[in-house]
Amino acid sequence: MKFIVYNVRDDEIPFIEKWGKDHGIEVKYTTTTLNQETVEEAAGFDGVSCLQTIPYSAELFESFKKMGIKYLSLRNVGVDNIDLPAAKENGVRITNVPAYSPESIAEFAVMMSLYLSRKVGYMRQQLDQKHQFHFSPNFMGRLMSEQTVGVLGTGRIGRAAIKLFKGLGASVIAYDKYPQKTTDESFVYVKSLDDLYNQSDIISIHMPATEANYHQFNHEVFEQMKDTALLINTARGSIVDTDDLMYALQSGEIAGAGIDTIENESADLQDSRSTKQVTNPDVLKLSMMPNVLITPHSAFHTSEAVKNMIDISLGNLEMMMSGKIPADLVD
């Protein structure tokens, strides 16, 4: 039994080496992204662990079948970038890690909300341009306790975010196609998405990407939102129409945005050793706006999360190789 781990970051290496030693299993790791050109590195291995947001194509799973590889274990939650029918057709089982550290992403969403609510971007811009501070109307922020936070998606991450926002005194409303049976009185479900858009001072997205919610946040939705509202996306880039978001920010349809994930993320973004300059024009434009905080898909990135992602991903491979069915099997 031996496994290969793709797209490895430097901070994952100690956890990978420890897991292999503790379980007596050979585990090789590589920093390369898994694609049709690099899949040959997996020759001779029984299972693959991977973390990336770029596509896993049908051709890739055809290569898996030719190489006799039956297991792909993700170190992340989302599977929207996987050709699942092709995986099934080629006899490849997929697992993910649905709960590596909900608190890590929830804390990041709250951090972004506080950064934007207290106008830190405007302060930084003034310091960078003038190398001095003076009192400005642009610096006046809002207390979290003065705001209504709309949480879109009440799974593990959404509920962790609700707990933190509630702890800061915010009023919390939420929407989910599949609502929880009880809210413990910590938040209230609204009847419709329109209610969430209209009532929220901050909207924090915590739902998986699907075909149905592709570009759910578009020009029509931004027009519905308050012109003082903030949008926080630590979920998936495809949920937000980037062009419409930039227009909304520049025209004043909404007041600001925290963007940890954006459409069409490149492999370089997730390469911890990459020294390439950012060239994505959308990222560059957003990074220059004082009412935007944009980060490189890092909301998950804490020591607890990294350890859990490695342990659960490799553990799922071991279970499948042993003939067991992991709870994290993607159907």
Q: Structural domain boundaries of the chain?
A: 2-100+302-321, 102-294
Q: Count CB neighbours of 170 within 10 A.
A: 23
Distance, CA of 321 to CA of 69 (rounded, Å): 11
Q: Give tens-digit pLDDT for 273-290.
A: 666 778 889 999 999 999
Extract the residue ranges of the chain whose pLDDT is less than 70.
130-131, 266-275
Distance, CA of 300 to CA of 322 (rounded, Å): 30
> In this predicted structure, what is the pLDDT of residue 275?
67
Catalytic residue among 75, 159, 297, 301: 297
Q: Count CB neighbours of 288 within 10 A.
A: 10
Question: Which CATH number among 3.40.50.720, 3.40.1110.10, 3.20.20.140, 2.40.10.10 corresponds to the domain 102-294?
Answer: 3.40.50.720
**Residue 66 bridge partners (DSSP):** none
> In this predicted structure, what is the pLDDT of residue 272?
56
SS3 15: helix
> In this predicted structure, what is the pLDDT of residue 53?
84
> In this predicted structure, what is the pLDDT of residue 274?
62
Instruction: Assess whether the region 2-100+302-321 and the region 102-294 belong to the same CATH fold.
Output: yes
> In this predicted structure, what is the pLDDT of residue 268?
60
The helix or strand, by DSSP H or E, that contains position 313, with its residue range, turns out to be helix 303-321
Half-sphere exposure at residue 288, Cβ-oriented, CA atoms within 13 angstroms: 9
* 9 part of the active site: no
Distance, CA of 3 to CA of 26 (rounded, Å): 6
Q: Kindly state the tokens that stand for 203.
A: 């909207």
286 alpha-carbon distance from chain centroid? 18
Tokens 């924090």 locate to: 204
Q: Is 40 exposed, middle or buried (0-12, 13-18, 19+ CB in 10 A)?
A: exposed
> In this predicted structure, what is the pLDDT of residue 279?
83
Comparing CA positions, the residue from 144, 158, 167 lying closest to residue 103 is 158
Catalytic residue among 93, 265, 301, 318: 265
* 236 part of the active site: yes
Per DSSP, 49 falls in state E
Distance, CA of 165 to CA of 177 (rounded, Å): 21
**Residue 329 bridge partners (DSSP):** 95
* 265 part of the active site: yes
223 alpha-carbon distance from chain centroid? 25
> In this predicted structure, what is the pLDDT of residue 78?
87
Which CATH class name applies to 2-100+302-321? Answer: alpha beta
Query: Measured on CA atoms in the order 132, 137, 138, 140, is the torsion positive or negative?
Result: positive
Catalytic residue among 236, 253, 301, 318: 236
> In this predicted structure, what is the pLDDT of residue 79?
92
End-to-end CA distance of the chain: 24
